[in-house]
Amino acid sequence: MNRRELWRETHLLTPDKKELARTVLEEIRRGREVTRTLRSHPLHNGGYLNKSMLVTIYHEMVAAGEIKEDPHLLERIRMKPMRTLSGVTTVTVLTKPYPCPGKCIFCPTDVRMPKSYLPDEPGAMRAVEHQFDPYAQVRSRIEQLQSLGHPTDKIELLILGGTWSSYRRDYQEWFVKRCFDAMNGINDEGLKGAGSVVDLSHVHSINETAPHRNVGLVIETRPDEITPDEIRWLRHLGVTKVQMGAQSLDDRILELNKRGHDVECTRRAVALLRAAGLKIVLHWMPNLLGATPASDREDFSRLWTDFCPDEIKIYPNQLLANAELYEYWQRGEFQPYTTEELIHLLADLKPTIPHYCRVNRVIRDIPSTNVVEGNRRTSLRQDVQDEMGRRGTQCRCVRCREVRGKPVHPERLKLDDLVYRAGAAEEHFISFVTPDDQLAGFVRLSLPGSDAPQTGIADLDGAALIREVHVYGQSLPVGAEKEGAAQHTGLGTRLLEEAERMAKANGFRRMAVIAAVGTRGYYLGRGFERGELYLVKNVS
């Protein structure tokens, strides 16, 4: 039985399962604990109902008028609520296999996959299943999330797969269009051959009021691909966030690992992305060839001098048989850190991360069967948290401070302004925090200096930049409200007002916001107007 057949078998709602699900759902509605109730009603052939079945029956009962909509009940039976506790729902898609300009010795190579990805990684399996078709990947993921009870009207689209900028631009444009077609609920196959014309602005316009609005578009690329022309192209596509492999901030380590660019290249790329208002995610890799735990500690500290990424992914180097580094290991020239060494290293580093940065990952989700030697644990984040708990230390990054599903009382929130210098700009991380220092929402305001890189984009001339507005808590449908939820309590508007006040106080007469396609209406309703690639507002 293949993976899809197994999924169908375990998720198929036969009449007897439907009746049992109704019974279970009624008991949960009356207050019984979810897991205990499921366990008290085993299936005839063994096993138990799963939460996705309960979600399906819940929606059927609401549609039939048997019960009223009950957000609290849906929240209790939702699977993996953490997936949407950051306020948005992330959908990840992979591009087709394609050559990468990089020659990094640590990067795995599999002709069936985009560079650096393996076919049995969880996120990659769906792409392989759908033959890398962007429409099918997005539709499948949205439908799966809906079956698990998650709201899907606010989608952050994460496009992975080697180096995005190395793909042909007609493919990029078609790929993005088909992702938007899936979010718009319109299966317009359109033209997709080389030289095809794609009316991306049309599908963008539809998405502004679509059932699944795009609230963020993320691509990954290399520092040596970032130029003013590339940034203009990314904004044409609707990109709001760029993931970039810094890997190391030591030129010797970069050269040893055949990275193909130097630290100064990364510095210029980060400064240019910041000047264009894009959100910046840097990948950092401990345990590269030539590194030691001591040199990694020193290297990590360099991230917070001038680079200052908004988010980071920590990807400890993993020894894989289909990477060139494997040959170095066979010759005795490379030795991976042990799990214990990695845990202690990361437990040292996490408490040093500034409050304005979010740690998205501390390990890649590569199945342990691919790892030749060294750490095989994918639960490294929890291991590090446990070690910090034993030490009495804690990480205060954005992710660790999110309010998640906790109730928020707006009148008790404190307004905080964290100021730091980065890339020839004065950055303001303006946030609302709870009395126990949990993060309810924030805005990233960038005030470019006179020596900031020039993007050549007229929208940004003389403008203060809103690079991100984010309000935390369980993602709620557009227009929905929930007592005590951080979303929909006006925090976003208040943060924008504070950013505007700060920009005016610093002599700026204009503001520009890098709005995702599906958030344009939000900003247009708050005084911004359409520019060429950004939304702009006069504040003089």
Strands (E), 328-391: 358-361
pLDDT score at 533: 98
- The C-alpha atoms of residue 298 and residue 511 are separated, in whole angstroms, by 37
pLDDT class of 482 with cuts at 50, 70, 90: very low
- The C-alpha atoms of residue 158 and residue 123 are separated, in whole angstroms, by 11
pLDDT at 46 over 80: no
- CB 27: neighbour CB atoms within 10 A? 17
Pick the CATH number of 410-538 from 3.40.630.30, 3.40.190.10, 1.20.1250.20, 3.40.1400.10: 3.40.630.30
pLDDT score at 12: 63
Annotated domain spans of the chain = 3-77, 88-221, 241-401, 410-538
For residues 449-453, average pLDDT: 95
Instruction: State whether the Cα torsion 142-359-119-96 is positive or negative.
Output: positive
Pairing verdict, β 535-538 and 510-513: antiparallel
Strands (E), 439-504: 439-448, 463-471
* Residue 538, beta-bridge partner list: 510
Tell me the CB-side half-sphere exposure of residue 20, using CA atoms within 13 A: 19
pLDDT at 8 over 50: no
pLDDT class of 326 with cuts at 50, 70, 90: very high
| Long-range Cβ pairs for the range 26-31 (8 Å, 24+) | 28/54, 28/73, 28/76, 28/77, 29/67, 29/70, 29/73
- The C-alpha atoms of residue 187 and residue 138 are separated, in whole angstroms, by 12
pLDDT at 301 over 60: yes
pLDDT class of 481 with cuts at 50, 70, 90: very low
pLDDT at 20 over 90: no
Condensed to tens digits (0 to 9), the pLDDT of residues 417-436 reads 999 999 999 999 999 999 99
pLDDT score at 195: 43
pLDDT score at 79: 58
pLDDT class of 175 with cuts at 50, 70, 90: very high
Nearest Cα to Cα of residue 134 among 98, 169, 177: 177
- CB 522: neighbour CB atoms within 10 A? 21
* Residue 279, beta-bridge partner list: 241
Which of 150-159, 295-304, 339-348 is predicted with the least confidence, judged by mean pLDDT? 150-159
Condensed to tens digits (0 to 9), the pLDDT of residues 375-406 reads 998 889 999 999 999 999 999 999 999 997 77
Most confident of 43-57, 188-202, 249-263, 359-373: 249-263
pLDDT at 193 over 50: no
What's the Cα-to-Cα distance from 469 to each of 79, 431, 446, 461, 494, rounded to whole Å?
27, 10, 12, 21, 11
pLDDT at 495 over 50: yes
Structure token digits, residue 207: 């998405």
pLDDT class of 64 with cuts at 50, 70, 90: confident
pLDDT score at 506: 97
Please provide the distance, in angstroms rounded to a whole number, between the alpha carbons at the two ends of the chain: 66
What's the Cα-to-Cα distance from 80 to each of 83, 90, 127, 341, 437, rounded to whole Å?
6, 13, 21, 30, 25
Structure token digits, residue 408: 């928020």
Percent of the chain with pLDDT strictly greater than 90? 69
- The C-alpha atoms of residue 377 and residue 368 are separated, in whole angstroms, by 7
pLDDT class of 86 with cuts at 50, 70, 90: low
pLDDT score at 407: 82
Backbone angles phi, psi at 135, to 5 degrees: -60, -50
Condensed to tens digits (0 to 9), the pLDDT of residues 97-128 reads 998 899 999 999 888 999 889 988 877 888 99
pLDDT score at 120: 85
pLDDT at 75 over 80: no
Question: Who has greater pLDDT, 244 or 193?
Answer: 244
Residue 436 DSSP symbol: T
Condensed to tens digits (0 to 9), the pLDDT of residues 209-252 reads 999 999 999 999 999 999 999 999 999 999 999 999 999 999 99
**What pTM was estimated for this model as a whole?**
0.85
Question: Who has greater pLDDT, 52 or 83?
Answer: 52
Report the length, in residues, of the chain: 540
What's the Cα-to-Cα distance from 220 to each of 174, 197, 226, 304, rounded to whole Å?
17, 24, 11, 21
pLDDT score at 9: 43
pLDDT score at 295: 98
pLDDT at 5 over 60: no
For residues 53-82, average pLDDT: 74
pLDDT at 18 over 90: no
- CATH fold, domain 241-401, is Transcription Regulator spoIIAA (3.30.750)
pLDDT score at 10: 45
For residues 455-460, average pLDDT: 97
Tell me the CB-side half-sphere exposure of residue 109, using CA atoms within 13 A: 13
**What dihedral do alpha carbons 434, 437, 438, 443 form, nearest 10°?**
80
